[in-house]
Structure 1
Amino acid sequence: MGGVALIQPKLKKAKQACAQGKIVVGEPKVQSNLLFDYVVPNTNKLALSANLHYTGKRYADQCNVNAVPAYFTTDLGIRYVTKEWLGKQTTLRFNVNNVFDKKYWVGMFPSNIDRTTTGAGTSIFLGQSRTFMLSAEVKF
């Protein structure tokens, strides 16, 4: 499964002349996601997954002078379903998000959207580093 978003997020009626028709702060023109989920044949218990994410370049200011680069991340997972824990269906999962530990900026928010305050800037946030997750789900 997957999806692609192609958008033209342009400013209209901007208060700053340099911002007229420019890309909205923090919005990429391209964003996509592709998910693979593979159940190992003859088991119906073991599955492997891969989730690929892409986010295009985003501008950090309304005049589109400063930008953060595009980024690509990969998540991998494995799950196993059994009925051997408490006699109930149990799903064990192990996932690694951001497998290659890509450093990227995930969120950008202008401090003052109309930039009428001198020195107003943009807040940006670092994306999630490589993360390991282990979980168990028991259906009662």
Structure 2
Amino acid sequence: MMQDNLNGHLPQHESWKYILKVIEDETIFFKTKLAHILSNDFEKSYLHHLEIFQHRFLKMDEQVALLRHEVRELEEVLQKNNLAAIHPESIALLEKTMGAKIDGLRQSFDTVAADFRIYLRQPFS
């Protein structure tokens, strides 16, 4: 087994990957909805708001890609190094920092998703 499952670190990393995948999938769903709106006739005065949402979704994509890369790097560090040689405090700090980033992204996504759902109820219901 991979160094005792990296002493329990992989389940947390798998959880982060799952969260990132869910955010990615939901963002794709919203971008598809936005593309559908843009492909139909709509009041042109709404274009500015729709462009803002498009920008927010693209930023979300960038953040997901960045965090996915950071999670992968953290896993590689833990896999390549002898865990006994890495101070547990260092690992805990790295994982606490990553957890905070994932939580921040999740909160940002929840805000964007709620804003978009509210916006869609107004002019496009």
TM over 0.5: no
Is the helix fraction higher in 1 or 2? 2
Task: Determine which structure has greater relative contact order: mean sequence separation of CA pairs < 8 Å that are 6+ residues apart, divided by chain length.
Answer: 2
Higher-Rg member (1/2): 1
Is the strand fraction higher in 1 or 2? 1
TM-score where L is the length of structure 1: 0.29
